[in-house]
Amino acid sequence: MKPVHYSDYLQLEKILGAQQPESELQQQPAHDEMLFIIIHQAYELWFKQIMYEVDSVHAILQQPSLNDNSPELQTVVHRLQRTVTILKLLVQQIDVMETMTPMDFLDFRDMLRPASGFQSWQFKGLEARLGLRFEQRHGQEYYLSQLRPEQVALIKRIESEQSLISLLNEWLERMPFLEQAPGWFEEYAAVYRSSLSEKEQGNLDAFAHMFGTVQKQDSTDQQNRQLSPRASRAALFIMLYRGYPILQLPFQLLNVLLEMDEQLSTWRYRHMNMVHRMIGTRIGTGGSTGKDYLKGAVDKHYIFREIAQLTSFLVERRHLPKLDTTMEKRLGFGGM
């Protein structure tokens, strides 16, 4: 077997030779540009790893019938938990970036035009793979305008494929327990109604739209939804009865998706504040509105919003409809 050398395996000559400060090319050396380049290269490497994990999860969920009793569901949860850990690291990297002061950045900022983090096609592809639709994006007219044709084609291809949340919807719709507990949802709806205070009665409309109990669903509302009423009921059941062994991994899956949204939102928020700290209200190097654009993305780019909304419809454990003995056995270790 041919011996492998550390440097060759990691291709360190390529990696360590991939930093070429623009300020040095223009013979106006700016010390902090090296830090700026390395941090952004590290971001792109981590984006690649996240996409690698998400693509593998996508492939598992794309199977016609995912065996929930096989190791596959645990693999899905494990790999998504890894992406959450990486996203936390991406948030922490901003601490390193912020050791660069606004004046340090000004030493080389104008030399970068029109390059911009807005041109990160990997991050846009990741958002699309997870389930951020074009119509849900902030700044639709701008978001592909700075990319190269082959990058635009790649993102449009990803957008044309099933997203992770679409596959999650199909998986939830297959959950058999709703049929095995006839009348459960109607009983739960009555318990939920009785749990609301007078000021919370407006939640009943949201409950009806989320779970499809209204006579006629608004077509626009349905088009904007990522989870069907049936999938929403299944997710609610999982959240309410997650203490049963069979529902532990499904609950972890829902929870890790919420964690992903939280970390992505935290990263966007920290990024927005860092940009404001560095350039104030000035226009970004790529021509975006800088902080204002980033704030719009922070406010709008929630991918698993409907899973998060389910927490509005929970009641205290002691008020949950009691499952019959047969259902409890099905949800136990020996039930499936």
Binding site, annotated residues for substrate: 36-40, 109, 285
Tokens of 186: 């109607």
Q: Report the binding-site residues for heme.
A: 271
Look up tokens 């829902």; give the residue: 254
CA atoms of 37 and 33, how far apart (whole Å):
6
Which amino acid would we find at residue 137? Answer: R
The DSSP string of 290-313 is THHHHHHHHHH--SSHHHHHGGGG
CA atoms of 121 and 306, how far apart (whole Å):
26
Q: How far is CA 298 from CA 48, 59, 127, 269, in A?
A: 22, 29, 13, 6
| Count of other CB atoms within 10 angstroms of residue 239 | 18
CA atoms of 143 and 156, how far apart (whole Å):
12
Q: How far is CA 169 from CA 230, 233, 235, 304, in A?
A: 9, 11, 9, 11
Contacts with 135 (C-beta within 8 Å, 6 or more apart), sequence order:
224
Q: Report the binding-site residues.
A: 36-40, 109, 271, 285
DSSP 161: S
CA atoms of 324 and 336, how far apart (whole Å):
16
CA atoms of 155 and 59, how far apart (whole Å):
18
Which amino acid would we find at residue 286? Answer: G
CA atoms of 154 and 165, how far apart (whole Å):
19
Are 311 and 232 in contact, with CB atoms under 8 Å apart?
no
